[in-house]
Structure 1
Amino acid sequence: MDTQRPSPTELILLKALWRKAPLSAREVHEQVAADLAWSFSSTRKTLDRMLDKGLISALDIHGVKVYRAEVGKVQTLANFVKDFSQRVLEVKGPLPVAMFAQSELLNAAEIEDLERLLLDSEASDHE
């Protein structure tokens, strides 16, 4: 799926959906309230923008609109890590995946997938 990169605030909503989905707009808002000091209507508008970008999908369950992520967690995070390391830190070469060992967002298998994606990306950059 060809999607745009999520913004930092969209990433926060995606993380809520990766942890537990499907979620209603109200449930998403409750999950991100500590991270984003904004109104429920801002959450709804952001979810609508994310729908338009193809980052999430919506379906109706028992008359309630619920959302789920349509972009993969590991691939999305790999894109962010690669961009940050190259553009901001100007790191050239392989990235140390050990820095994710204490992540509350990634389990061991996902960390392995992330490492593979970053290594594959590094190899394709040198071709």
Structure 2
Amino acid sequence: MHEDEESPTVARGLLRLSTLFVFMAVGGYVFWDTFSEAAALDRLKATAKNYRYTESCDSEGNFIVSASANCVDLNHYVFIDGPVMKAVRRNCTGKPAALLSFEKGKVARTEINSVQKMLQFHARYGTNSPCGANR
């Protein structure tokens, strides 16, 4: 048994190499899941799908009464669920007001994560963070 430690076998070397590759793959997946735009869009899509909307909006974020419920006012954003998810960013965020379209390559990952976290918070607690309070 003492001889095995002094001169590793090919099988032990392959085991160590495969273990290294497994850890690298898991680390790469965690990195991708944390920092990729596609993963952020998937998380937002899942959050939006499970949210119960109470208000109706047109595609520009204007509230209307004659349509099915598809939007929510999150103070910083008005989130609109539809074939293409959109949000109207208000200028209280410290950034200029804008209409954001949540499609790949059209909006920053930080905006996607902000809207997703605000939507989760609103779904969980039923309230919004105050507009402009912590930005």
TM-score, normalization: structure 1?
0.24
The structure with the greater share of residues assigned to helix is 1
Q: Which has the larger radius of gyration?
A: 2
Q: Give the number of the structure with larger relative contact order, counting CA–CA contacts within 8 Å between residues 6 or more apart.
A: 1
TM-score, normalization: structure 2?
0.23
